[in-house]
Structure 1
Amino acid sequence: MCVLPAGELARKYGRRAAFMAGTGAGVLTGLLATIALYIDSFWLYCLSALLGGAYAAVALSFRFAATDGVPENKRPQALSMVMAGGVAAGIIGSQLVTHTMHLWSDKMFAATFIAQAIGAALAGVILFGVKLAKPLANQAYSGRPLRTIALQPRFISAVICGAASYMVMNFLMTSAPLAMHMHGHSQESANLGMQWHVIAMYGPSFFTGKLIARFEAARISVFGIILTAISAAIGFLGEGVYHFYALLILLGIGWNFGFLGASALVLETHKPEEKTVLNRLVTL
């Protein structure tokens, strides 16, 4: 719901305005989720999750903002370096959950959501110092119609690869901790599995850009989808903790190649003056 409004906000007022709106939603996510747990309100919790999606819609545009002002041959590396920040998130995020989930004794995860709100607020402070030029009027409205861009075979291929990578990763990632719990594994084991999954998602970003430059974005994206399919197959082999770990790690690597490859492919399908309207469409 928030991808297009976030893109429109960035087009009119600059990327920083969109960044600040997104981090504001991120802070509200944690605060409302905490209140929802405290008063046992499922619908308030759903609202907090909706705001979390708004935060994600903005955060996923960071990779495109990183390509602004970067020479064309350096764009894949710029994309990769932004995504590589997820390595720190994989370590900090999972450990944050492990060490805060029981701090509020009678409301599990309530303290975790407070910590998440603080993390979003800190990110907002950093993003406030980012200075990116507001698109000029002729940049914002020039270029080919969105329909013309979107109907290019190369663009369609990028969208299919990106959507497949993201969809399968999201389904398996969100269900794996619940499945681990149902099969008798501890919450700490599930947190550790998610830590390695997120590290696997973003760790390859240190060299994915170079692989894209060498082997082309389309090939890297297809290879990522193949790895994602293999990770799904591992889920049928057993229910032990290491089956889940192997699934999550390979899933993360597959997503990195598939999604970054698709993102780089998108950058090859539009002109500089078309980037704002296109990024609104492909952020997710």
Structure 2
Amino acid sequence: MPITVWGLAIAQALLMAGNILLVSISALVGKELAAHPALITLPIACQFIGLITATMPAAHLMQKLGRKTGFILGNLIGIFGTWVALQGLLETSLAMFALGTFLIGIAIGVGQQYRFAALESCAEPLHARAISMVMAGGVLAAIIGPNLAILSQDWHPDSPYAGAFFGLFGLYVLALLLLLVLPLPKAVVSPEHTQVRSYAQLFRQPMLLAAVASGMIGYGIMVLIMTATPLAMNQDQHDVSATAHVIQWHVLGMFVPSFFTGSLIRRFTTRRVILWGCGALLVSVAINLTGQGFWHYWWGLLLLGIGWNFTFIGATHLLTFSYLPAEKGKVQGINEFMVFSAAALGSMFAGQGLALLGWAWLNVFAIPWILVVAALIWRLKEQAAPTAVSNQ
């Protein structure tokens, strides 16, 4: 595997560690700074808005200027955003803190392109494994992020949360130094008269429609149920330790399979792996519907993570067969925009959905969406899927 893929896996780990660190403290900072309870989650909302805002421009920018320029700009924005957020925290300004998390969200949005850069850095037979390796950086992030949040509490005398932003600053600087020395794909110059299909024409392809739907719904459903789980466990009188244990295994379920998902795609086809992911999501829902004991939550969230891994990595791989080189930025950009918009909706609806529907019906709500993905992928059968398989 090329050194670039290994480097991007480390960069992904640093990016996700920073994201986990930020998520772990943003709501607490919001609670400290907000004048009204409705504003407590404003920093997290701004982070999501920044991420979504960056997706399409980042993809187009990198197609014109190359991956290295795009990633360096993204990390510089993240470093500046970290400084702005820290100033907002120290000056007790919610608006400035939210502006900082918005800028950090932009950096996170740019970093979502790491997995696409990885597959562009290796031969086609290695594409699935390259995507998996980059996503496997999440295992390292799951260790670094929470521990950094704990260790940094005493790094600043004025606030227990300020130290986390020194840690976040350090993660972005490390990623920046890595990206500066890493050989990354250069911009691909297309002939002047190269025809680029419209979105309407692109989405007439069953493969693109299936890939985007798989990424959107797999991510959206995962975030919906994951975000609602701590609230549901609290209602069922499970303590914080039990909830943390469930979430920890969920995160492991999300990222540990990345070490072999690429090999599964290579051996069994992208189509089958996505269908297995849909199956894991449905089994997760079924377990959640059978009870609300600790082990119901544990197994349900573990399978939810595995299902997300198979649908998301499979969708990313399938997507690469739906566009021409000149359409790369356009398709990758709209895919990221739609996938992370779905994730944001899942996050925002989780609390209200649990309150309105209850745990059981919230899980039932997920079933038809999962079946939609399964149907779209199943329709591909082997008539379109061979393109995504024969070259593996």
Give the unaligned 5+ runs of structure 1: none
Alignment of 1:1-40 (within 5 A): 1-40=53-92
Match of 1:96 in 2: 148
Distance 1:55 1:190, change over 3 A: farther
Correspondence 1:259 to 2:312: yes
6-15 or 41-50, larger mean C-alpha shift? 41-50
Kept in 2: contact 1:29–1:117 (CA 8 A): no
Could you report, residue by residue, the CA deviation over 1:254-283 in whole angstroms, capped at 9, with x for unpaired residues?
A: 111010011111112223443233222223
Percent sequence identity is 34
Please state whether the residue corresponding to 2:186 is helix, strand or coil: coil
Cα root mean square deviation, aligned: 2.9
1:152 is aligned with what amino acid?
Q
SS in 2 for 1:138: coil
Whether contact under 8 Å (1:4, 1:280) holds in the other structure is yes
CA contact (8 A) 2:56 2:330 kept: no
- 1:54 pairs, out of 74, 82, 106, with 106
Determine if contact 2:196/2:326 at 8 Å carries over to the other structure.
no
- Partner of 1:132 in structure 2? 184
Letter of the 2:252 counterpart: I
Query: Residue 66 of structure 1: SS of its match in structure 2?
Result: helix
Matches within 5 A, 1:86-165: 86-101=138-153, 107-138=159-190, 142=194, 144-147=196-199, 148-165=201-218
Q: Which moved more, 1:50-59 or 1:243-252?
A: 243-252
Contact 1:100 1:112 in 2 (8 A): yes
Counterpart contact for 2:61–2:70, Cα < 8 Å: yes
SS in 1 for 2:119: coil
1:220-231 matched pairs, under 5 angstroms: 220-231=273-284
Residue 73 and residue 53 in structure 1: after superposition, are their counterparts in 2 closer, same or farther (change >3 A)?
Answer: same
Q: Which has the higher contact order (CA 8 A, sep 6+)?
A: 1
Q: Which structure would you say has the larger Rg? A: 2
Match of 2:239 in 1: 185
The structure-2 alpha-carbon separation of the partners of 1:141 and 1:50, relative to structure 1 and needing over 3 Å to count, comes to farther
C-alpha distance in structure 2 between counterparts of 1:39 and 1:172, whole Å: 35
Residue-by-residue CA offset, 1:104-134 (whole Å, 9 max, x unaligned): 5774433223212211221111111122243
Structure 2 match to 1:65 = 117
User: Is this contact kept in 2: 1:93–1:195, CA < 8 A?
Assistant: no
Counterparts in 2 of 1:166-245, with a 5 A limit? Answer: 166-177=219-230, 185-186=239-240, 193-232=246-285, 234-235=287-288, 243-245=296-298
C-alpha separation in 1, matches of 2:312 and 2:306? 10
Cα offset, 1:228, TM superposition: 2.8
Letter in 2 for 1:185: D
Q: Secondary structure at the match of 1:145?
A: coil
Q: Deviations over 1:116-168 (max 9, x none)?
A: 22112211111111222432332697354142223201110111110011112
User: How far is the alpha carbon of 1:50 from its aligned partner?
Assistant: 2.0
Is 1:271–2:271 an aligned residue pair?
Answer: no
Give the gaps of 5 or more residues in structure 2: 1-52, 340-392
CA 1:22–1:37 in structure 2 vs 1: closer, same or farther (change >3 Å)? same
Q: CA deviation at 1:21?
A: 1.8
- Whole-Å separation in 2 of the counterparts to 1:251 and 1:46: 30
TM-score, structure 2 normalization: 0.64
The answer to whether the 8 A contact 1:185-1:241 is kept is no
Count of aligned pairs between the two proteins: 283
Q: Residues 141, 120 of structure 1: CA spacing in aligned structure 2 closer, same or farther, 3 A cutoff?
A: farther
Q: Secondary structure at the match of 1:2?
A: helix
